Structure 1
Amino acid sequence: MTADYSTKTRDLLQRLTAFFDQHIYPNEERYLREVDANRRAGNAWIPSKVIDELKPIAQREGMWNLFLPHPYEGQGGISNLDYAPLCELMGRVMWSGEVFNCSAPDTGNMETLERYATDAQKQRWLKPLLAGEIRSAFLMTEPAVASSDATNIQCTIRREGDEYVINGRKWFSSGAGNPRCAIFIVMGKTDTEAPRHAQQSMVLVPRDTPGVTVVRPLTVFGYDDAPHGHMEVTLENVRVPVDNILLGEGRGFEIAQGRLGPGRIHHCMRSIGAAERALESMIDRLADRVAFGKALSEQSIWHERIAESRCMIDQARLLTLDAAHRMDTVGNKEARSEIAMIKVVAPNMSCKVVDWAIQAHGAAGVSADFWLADAYAQQRTVRIVDGPDEVHRNAIAKIEIAKRAALRAPRVV
């Protein structure tokens, strides 16, 4: 596995970089002012005008649905390896992914629908999602159980004739706060007597179905992430047609594993972009500040932190590229160890680099005047979403033990 990008990737990266220089960076302050104005007016949950203006430009320039590795009706078709540096660039500005229709949880939901949905489900939900006409949410995590173990889920999906009746409480349902969110992918249990990993199913629930209630937005380190939002949602006797099941009853855990692999590596790609920008901000700030008679950038402690940041970022990037390459060549299941490793490494690395950048900025670093406090909240959260560090370390250890056990097994002659 080398660090060389393909000709296709280099071209896309050059074009995407130019797009950021022309359209994204100049609009960062406007985006924040817009959200703040909506909040002061009493409704932060209004789609961004900035993003709405930039989406058609991105579409016209061919930078749309870049995340989708398997093409669908002319959309997507870029490998995970090709997408890695593009997604990294999007990680430098946290709202930028939506401009290119490459933001979570829609990316994971669209991949799920492309891989597992029926043709009718794709026409109804995947096509408008790929067109950027609607948004979506993924409802798996629950407040009453340790959702890092998906078999704990208590939401019930009970069949009654030609309908499923759904009852449960979900939270941290990212994207459910957006008024354009039209479809939920809900994970729940259809058969509590089945084997442990065959009890769960996934079903498509339109947002406007009777019995669906968005209870409240949840904050992350005080941020509500409007207009995206992480919502608590209740489902009370929600009825949907049996045709809304994804893949079939008892296949939910299987779908979750297929969905979360790409989602995890996308988080890692964005984490690297955030860390890279944090390092740049750290260096710039250190050069501009003088303490005890000399620039902070001349003090040895900061030399160590700058050097360590560069080492950690590049190590994480190479591990991400290796995982992406494995996903493209042997599939997500066979690449599960590499995905788990980078899911541990990248957000921990980014947390550390962003933390050092905050330290370099002093009191300003924890204020809302700079992007670093928000970035830290985001990166710290990534250590939990799509499986916490402990779960991934456990999976890595089991794989390593199994590999060694296979080598040590006595040969039959």
Structure 2
Amino acid sequence: MRNFELEFNSVNNHTRSLLEEYVYWGAKIEVADTQQWMYNELIDFVNFRMETASTCLFLSESNRIADSFGLCRSLLENYLLFILMCRGHKWFQVRDCSNLTEGKFKQLLAEESVRVPRAHAAGESRYTSVMKHPKLTRRLMYILDGISGGDDPGFMVPAHYFQFQEFRPDAMRLPADAYFEYHDFSQEVRASRKEYQAEMSTVYREFLSYDALLRCLELNGLTSSGATGRIEAHYVFLGSFLHPTHEAARKLHEKSNHYDGQPAIGLKHPYRAEVRLLSALYICFLTAGILDEIVRVHENAPSKYIKSSGSAEIRKLIQEVPRRYNYFWFISNAPAPFDKYRHFGYSSTVEERERWGDWTAVPDDAPKFNKEILDQLAESFSFLQAGH
């Protein structure tokens, strides 16, 4: 019989196994004669994310659940970025057409939609296609494939790999003129700094902000509209513990409506059982997701760079996560059994029920995600406990 506390320990133990195997995995990778530095830097990125995951695990097991959720929000954003750093081979450049009337802009878009693919097919353009910018008025997005990997034109590196490395938040948000400097700079230098600030703002707005990450994931076909909706729900839930949100942490506790007005470290009432389990699941799924990306990169690496990924053991642990904990519907995994059961009973038509026969035949793309994440988990796990 799986109860909340046993499952909490099981999930955390699996996360610990993932972290341990990740460290062991380093000795199993066989690097070929030609070293591609990108693999080292991607592992470096993951190392810091695994430090965060380890901290989340410590917080979860120390009953600092709200803080664990807040840190998981950071981990989620890094996960979305890392997907693009590993697999986001499409990127774009923006053309400002705001000087055109709406009619002229539509005409230009129609003409470029024909010209650009033809030019690319003829080898005359790097751009593969063109589209209207989804957010900015009268802007065109010219789509490109990844950036060539140095002297190996067949090896393409996602643009987000470079954009992440080159982005400087201080240059974007902290104008040099407003802060202490030892020397005055010429007008030319000041103008150059302003241009660089504008460049960093563009990189953040188009590629690295949360909204930009979602757009780029969809552009690369790395998420569907349904998955984007799930990302949004998880992101908002976790964000309520990172940003000031009234009573967000209080509602996680038993007897959350009890106020005694006494100073304390948190609340004296314990966290609810489903809350503790949810914290463990977020840590486990995020850890597995990030590790899946770095392992996949090594598994798909050209043999001239990676002779053997040595990933059999860690791949097995990663694949076990959505199978063992299938009652938690995260981002890329299938709906939980309870989601299918509820959809069959409450949202399907008579014709669909006749066609499917019972809830187990409900297709993965039919159920809608329940944005009430805590209630969903409690119901889904209870459904599992009932033997379904």
Structure with the higher helix share, 1 or 2: 2
Do Structure 1 and Structure 2 share a fold, with TM-score over 0.5?
A: no
TM (norm. structure 2) is 0.28
TM (norm. structure 1) is 0.27
Higher RCO (CA 8 Å, separation ≥ 6 residues): 2
